[in-house]
Amino acid sequence: MNVIDLFAGCGGLSTGFEMAGYKIPLAVERDGWASETYKKNHKGTKVITGDITQIQDLDSLFSKKKIKIDGIIGGPPCQGFSLSGNRDKKDPRNSLFIEFVRFVKHFQPTFFVMENVTGILSMQTKSGELVKDVILSEYNKAGYNVEIYVLNAAEFGVPQKRIRVFFIGLKKEILYDREMLKPKGFLFGDNQITIEQAIMDLPQISAGAGKEPVEYPCCPQNKYQKWARQKSTAVYNHIAMKHSARLVERFSHIGYGQSVADVAQEYQQRQRGNANKISGRTYSQNNMRPYPNRPSPTVPASFQSNFVHPYIDRNYTAREGARLQSFPDSYIFCGKRTTMSWEKNLSQYQQIGNAVPPLLAKGIAESIARYLKREK
């Protein structure tokens, strides 16, 4: 089946759908570095880098021959990106969500998958409408039955507790059964994958160390590691951030389940220009050392400063974050590893943290394929 990926990012959704046997003839992504990553890893896909609102002639997207589009996938932001001046920014009809609807209306795919954060379920417009009800209404008018699923990536073999909302729509002429359509979780064994199981076969480098490519230091130790390495002969994107000696010492005093806010006073961050005064800017969500024998907490776009490695006194590398997101080691990330606040493009860390975990996407894709095959 042919699928279009909108707001594609670095390609997490696409990767999962390709794992399930789908083809991705077209992807649209605004960010230059994320688009570069996508192109490097999906060489058979036409990638449009730019503003989706500027794509007016949808018929011209496939110039040589008409391609039947079976599905549209993506994660459009449903608030904070108003396209209508002073209108209600919480109303999805004024956001980039409506661009997703425009593609669905034009191509009339058999199905679509739209991903978002769980907060969208309780979000309201200024007039008091639930945003999810507005979304469901728009798709109903477009000719689709839509079901909302709240899924935890850890139940799909991803070594991370990441809960997201998925709107899965089917054309109204297709017989509809919520339970039959619901994505089914799968694991690599009897239990969820832990951080230790996910990353401990990677080179154990200290702060500021690393090169690419680098050889694997050992054979895979479990099914997840074996899966992650299946098409890779070396490790990329595994260069550790540089830390001062004081920061490394501070990290050494962070226990499991603790963050930089929990260290003793003598190790806390100091004000710039005044080493005798403790900084008031200490955030409990920064530099947390997670339990290695559990799945990771959610890996956000800012994960380069959110976590300290379970056993090494440094932050995660981009590759370690990619492992926790279930990207295979053969997936190479482009652009800078980190960026300053004024830089516009998405860093490798941001690309990884923003992505839908490929194994979760694969589970959704397989569920849809099974359902549609059953209906034929």
Tell me how far apart the alpha carbons of residues 203 and 199 are, in angstroms, rounded to a whole number.
9
Tell me how far apart the alpha carbons of residues 296 and 159 are, in angstroms, rounded to a whole number.
6
Nearest to 6 by CA among 47, 41, 43: 47
Please give the C-alpha separations between residue 332 and each of 31, 150, 298, 329, in angstroms, as whole numbers. Answer: 16, 29, 21, 7
Tell me how far apart the alpha carbons of residues 256 and 266 are, in angstroms, rounded to a whole number.
19
List the catalytic residue out of 78, 218, 219, 334: 78
Q: Which residues pair with 274 in a beta bridge?
A: 271
Contact 12, 24 (CB under 8 A): no
Clarify whether 78 is annotated catalytic.
Answer: yes
Which amino acid is residue 2, in one-letter code?
Answer: N
Please give the C-alpha separations between residue 164 and each of 56, 87, 89, 154, in angstroms, as whole numbers. Answer: 30, 27, 21, 11
Q: Which residues are catalytic?
A: 78
